[in-house]
Amino acid sequence: MERAFPNRTAAGRLLAEKLIKYAGRDDVIVLGLPRGGVPVAYEVAKRLNVPLDVFIVRKLGVPGFEELAAGAIASGGVRVLNEDVMRALPNADEAIESVTARETAELERREQSYREGRPAPDLRDRVVILVDDGLATGATMRAAVKGLRQRGVAKIVVGVPVGPPDTCREFEEEADETICATVPEFFQAVGQYYEDFPQTSDEEVRDLLARAARGLS
């Protein structure tokens, strides 16, 4: 299979071209979903010449099967649950409360760590472009969209380099606009569409946000 992107930087540049109508607007902000979405979002923000920040979302993994998302939480106390997964779980409520408490603590740690003392941006009445390195089930992006709805934003644009057709279609209903740059028919995992797909570190996220705060370059 031909991989669509050499790395997240290249993916971000390609995605940016599909969002070019938002370039240079003073009501637009790009929010990356940490960690892997931030290098992609950085390239989008740089090309569009708009501010960059993060919107932190944590997946609520099923205990013992952490890759399976029972839901997600987002900045601002938002929680979205996958009802199908919850119904299949024994002692679902108890298990999810425990995972939620742990992930909330991690979300708060990241809020502090990534911004290094800079205040969170005011999102009210702004056009928010939410960027990740790809969509799979969409659980974390769904939580982010729900979280932003509570912030009084003017418009939510979901932008990703790659995602499966069904998930991309779902987000056309949930967000105000959805851009999936590549929509492969036989999608398995986001990483299969990248030649180089290492874990993004906290340090890399902090560095990109600090560079963006100084002026994207």
Per the structure, the complete domain to which residue 72 belongs is given by 59-113
How do residues 67-109 score in pLDDT, each as one tens digit? 777 888 888 788 888 888 888 877 888 888 999 999 999 998 9
Three-state DSSP string of 124-172: CCCEEEEECCCCCCCHHHHHHHHHHHCCCCCEEEEEEEECCHHHHHHHH
For the chain, how many structural domains are there in total?
Answer: 2
H or E element that contains 9: helix 8-17
Asked if 101 and 132 sit in the same domain, the reply is no
User: Among 99-113, 161-175, 196-210, which is the least confidently predicted range?
Assistant: 99-113
Whole-number pLDDT of residue 2: 59
Positive/negative CA dihedral, 176, 135, 170, 139 = negative
Structure tokens at 28: 């637009």
Instruction: Flag whether pLDDT at 66 surpasses 70.
Output: yes
| Single pTM value for the model | 0.88
Whole-number pLDDT of residue 178: 98
**Rounded Cα–Cα distance for residues 51 and 30 (Å):** 6
Instruction: Flag whether pLDDT at 157 surpasses 70.
Output: yes
Instruction: Flag whether pLDDT at 65 surpasses 80.
Output: no
Asked if 69 and 126 sit in the same domain, the reply is no
Asked if 43 and 80 sit in the same domain, the reply is no
